[in-house]
Amino acid sequence: MLCQLSSELNRQIGLLIHRSGKVEQVIVGSYGQIVIPQLGQIRSTGGRLRGLRLVHTHLANEDISDEDLMDLLFLRLDLLSALKVDKNGLPHVMQTAHLLPESREGKSWVFLEPVHPANQVDSAEELIVALEREFAQKSKSSVVDSGQDRAILVSVSTEPRLQAEESLAELVELAASDDVAVLDTILQRRQKIDPRFILGKGKLADIMIRALQHDANLLIFNQELNPSQIRSITDFTDLRVIDRTQLILDIFAHRAMSREGKLQVEMAQLKYMLPRLSSRDDALSRLTGGIGARGPGETKLEIDRRRINDRLARLGRELAQVSRERYRRRAKRRKKDLPVLSLVGYTNAGKSTLLNTLTNSDIVAEDKLFATLDPTSRRLRFPTEMEVIITDTVGFIRHLPAELVQAFMATLEELGEADLLIHVVDVSNPAFRQQMKVVDTILRELDLGDIPVMKLFNKVDLVENRGEVEQLIGDEGLLISALQPETLKGFLEQAGSLIEKSMQ
Ligand SMILES: Nc1nc2c(ncn2[C@@H]2O[C@H](COP(=O)(O)OP(=O)(O)OP(=O)(O)O)[C@@H](O)[C@H]2O)c(=O)[nH]1
Ligand SMILES: [Mg+2]
């Protein structure tokens, strides 16, 4: 009957069929194609596939087309069948394609043997159940914790390859630091970045396939996305989409311990959200699911601009209060007139570890980016009996979100009181030169150019060719390992005499 009607109308007709057998939609197309309407509301089975299969007619004896396959892919249809109609309006042959849990020869779909509908003996329902099971098995092995976000990281870059790769590697670390399971990374280098989708539709389709095969629920982009980009990519892929800034903000939201830190992070999150509120729609509500939703997230849907602005004003006042308190504490410390030595450096360079080793302390130091958010101070006694205050600070990172720079300005301002800055560098990181540049730039921006800086090249125990590194560094700084106290002697001597000089 489908074929007959289709033939009489001279238009393709399609049926979207639920697994229960119920026909969900009848779609009437043109002679050459049908357009499937938005399926948002129909999703019901909760599996990896959509729970709908499409059976539609082809009038010109054409095979399943690329457009058909795109529908199969993007709508995650259970099956897609094309029913060829002959000149008399009778069914002629049926072609069927379905998605694969694992790509074969670069293809993520496969065709079944074409059959005449009258000879169709295989059960579509059974095939779909088997497919679902395979998808589930394929992704089960890598599921660590069902509550964990499972992400594919995407970087579209105009930078040279090496730099783009390093930057993506850093995104992987950021994600891991936020307890996100990284399933796959995609790096694309382009001359120009697509303003709507960031990357080409073909590549986006590729990402879709991988997301489906890995059972990912999140896409993390290495560049900042504007609200409409988030929306178009979300609509296109049906995945939650966030950018690097949101990821960093989320890490900060997790880590902030002190009242001041918490206030600062909330402020940064709200500031980031504010311009993105203009398109009050799905794009935002999707953000409430996980990353990007912590901190001020829960009531996001009802919050309007004014309430955010009110909240920001209040946070500003509270922060001012907290900084006054901190200032008083600092003044007290100053009275004792102990010299201050501040550790600065790229995140994960080993600042906290060094402070621990030097002062026999036990502050948090771990292999995560932004382990330290709240500044910590300790007393340190030099072999010469001189006593100083040593402070640990939040680590720096390239493209530090502007909102965060502002938020942490107050904490970083304290660096202005340091008598000596210790720039800790992770020399075992291939990107250490670039990381140093980032730190230098931020120090300049903070107007700390006048304070003497001493460079410590840390983690030398991880370096394979020590001689080479020694040559590379020359007298730029000292090679140390924060884990090996015996390597710190030279540092203590130099720092001691530098401070004594500066005190005279
Ligand atoms: N092998 C080795 N590992 C080190 C050394 N110094 C630090 N680490 C490790 O590097 C990781 C990061 O150290 P942290 O002290 O937390 O680094 P940080 O600079 O305070 O980092 P943030 O607070 O995130 O900015 C930890 O896992 C440390 O154990 C070192 O000299 N050698
Ligand atoms: Mg630290």
Average of per-residue pLDDT across 391-416: 79
499 lines ligand 1 (CB under 6 A): no
Average pLDDT over residues 222-241: 83
Closest C-alpha residue for ligand 1 atom 3? 459
Q: Average pLDDT for residues 40-44, to the nearest whole number?
A: 47
pLDDT at 280: 39
- Residue 12 pLDDT > 90, yes or no? yes
| CATH numbers and ranges of domains, the chain | 2-140 (no CATH), 150-246 (3.40.50.11060), 250-316 (no CATH), 336-503 (3.40.50.300)
Q: Whose CA is nearest to atom 32 of ligand 1?
A: 459
Pick the most confident of 251-255, 420-424, 466-470.
420-424
Max mean pLDDT range (38-42, 43-47, 65-69, 437-441): 437-441
What pLDDT is attached to residue 154?
94
The residue whose CA is least distant from atom 4 of ligand 1 is 459
Looking at the predicted structure, is the pLDDT value of residue 421 above 90?
yes
Which ligand 1 atom sits nearest the alpha carbon of residue 480?
Answer: 31
pLDDT value, residue 44: 38
**C-alpha 373 to ligand 2 mean position (Å):** 7
Tokens of 66: 């690329």
Strands lying side by side in the sheet with 240-243:
181-189, 150-157, 218-221, 240-243
Ligand 1 centre to CA of 18 (Å) is 54
The listed range with the strongest mean pLDDT (82-96, 263-277, 279-293, 372-386) is 82-96
Contacts of 385 (CB under 8 A, 6+ apart): none
End-to-end CA distance of the chain: 99
Give the residue, by CA position, lying nearest to ligand 1 atom 5.
459
pTM here is 0.75
Tell me if 442 sits within 8 A of 393, measured CB to CB. no
* Residue position matching structure tokens 């509120």: 277
Closest ligand by atom to 397 CA: 1
Q: Quick count: other Cβ atoms within 10 Å of Cβ 203?
A: 17
What is the whole-number distance in angstroms between the Cα of residue 332 and the centre of ligand 1?
31
Which ligand 1 atom is at minimum distance from the Cα of 367? 27
pLDDT score, position 2: 93
The percentage of residues in the chain with a pLDDT greater than 70, rounded to a whole number, is 89
Mean pLDDT, residues 448-473: 92
H or E segment to which residue 491 belongs: helix 489-503
User: To the nearest whole percent, how much of the chain has pLDDT over 90?
Assistant: 38
- 462: Cβ below 6 Å to ligand 1? yes
Of 157-161, 293-297, 336-340, 384-388, minimum mean pLDDT range? 293-297
For residue 39, the SS3 value is: coil
pLDDT at 9: 95
Per-residue pLDDT, averaged over 362-387, amounts to 83
* Residue of 251, 252, 343, 353 to test ligand 1 pocket, by largest number of atoms within 8 Å of CB: 353
| For residues 145-160, average pLDDT | 84
ipTM over 0.85: yes
